Amino acid sequence: MVASNSCWQNAYQNLFPGCSEILAGEEKRPPLPHCDAKSSMLKCLTKLDEDARKIYLEFYLETNSICHQLQTDAFKRQTERLVNELKNSAQFAEDKLETIEEKVEGLLQNSHLIHDSLASIDVQTQQVAKLTQNVEVQVNLVLRNTEAVYEQSKGIAASQSELQEKQATMKDKLEESMAKLHESSNKVGEEISNLKNQAIEIEEEISKVGNAMSSKMNTLQQRADDIGNMAGISLEKQKQVLDGQSLAFEGLQSLTKFQLHALEENR
């Protein structure tokens, strides 16, 4: 590579403008006459004398040789520099291409992974959609069941309220019935006590009547015995005795019926 401040580069750049000064310094000749850069070479050469023309031609030929060498060397160096730069650029590009290839492979792998992930996400999305539909169906079913339970609870609440009212009514009636039953039981107890007292009185009366009847029967039996023992009693007296016995027997039957009736009432 040729640096921008190399000796050959500086010589090549300063060769033509310094030719007049170099020749004048070495040969102690006056410098070439001034010539406008825009003027043609023939016009500039007409201003030179024969010696100057020869010097110019020799310098021109030597300068061409030197310039050719300088240009060749500069071209070679520039070519080497360009080749090296191209080589470095190619190596850099190759490295970049390898890096890009690795990144592309990574991107391809990532794209496959992304594709698989997207496919998995699609499947999961479909599953979630199905689950969402199932959940929606279940939620609707639960809502309907909840509404039915709510209606049933309202009916149960109404039934409970009605049942409480009926229970309160039944409680009042039961308390009233219990009061009446208590009152009736008290009355029955009083009546039973009265019946017991009456039964006692009846038993006493029956005992008295029985004793009286027994006394009468004994008296009648004594009379019958007396009558049977007495001879020559008239038939009419016997009839009176029989009538008395019949009356006594009827009285005994009436007493027996009265006792049975009293016992039934006492029970």
How much is the average pLDDT of 210-234? 65
Q: How many domains does the chain have?
A: 2
Domain that includes residue 244, residue range: 197-266
CA distance 46 to 39: 12
Residue 169 falls inside a structural domain = no
* Between residues 59 and 26, the one the model is more confident about: 59
Residue 235 falls inside a structural domain = yes
* Between residues 96 and 12, the one the model is more confident about: 96
With contact defined as beta carbons under 8 Å apart, do 59 and 4 qualify? no
Q: Domain end: 109, 126, 149, which one? A: 109
pLDDT tens digits along 174-213: 778 777 767 876 777 777 777 777 777 777 777 777 677 6
Q: Domain end: 56, 78, 109, which one? A: 109
Q: Domain end: 54, 75, 109, which one? A: 109
Residue 171 falls inside a structural domain = no
Which of these, 218, 209, 221, lies nearest to 253 by C-alpha position?
Answer: 209
Residue 99 pLDDT > 80: yes
Could you give the angle at the alpha carbon of 45 between the alpha carbons of 40 and 51, nearest 5°?
Answer: 165
3-state secondary structure of 223: helix
Residue 26 falls inside a structural domain = yes
Task: Please provide the average confidence, as pLDDT, over all residues in the chain.
Answer: 73
Residue 24: predicted pLDDT: 47
Residue 147 falls inside a structural domain = no
How much is the average pLDDT of 210-237? 65
Residue 149 falls inside a structural domain = no
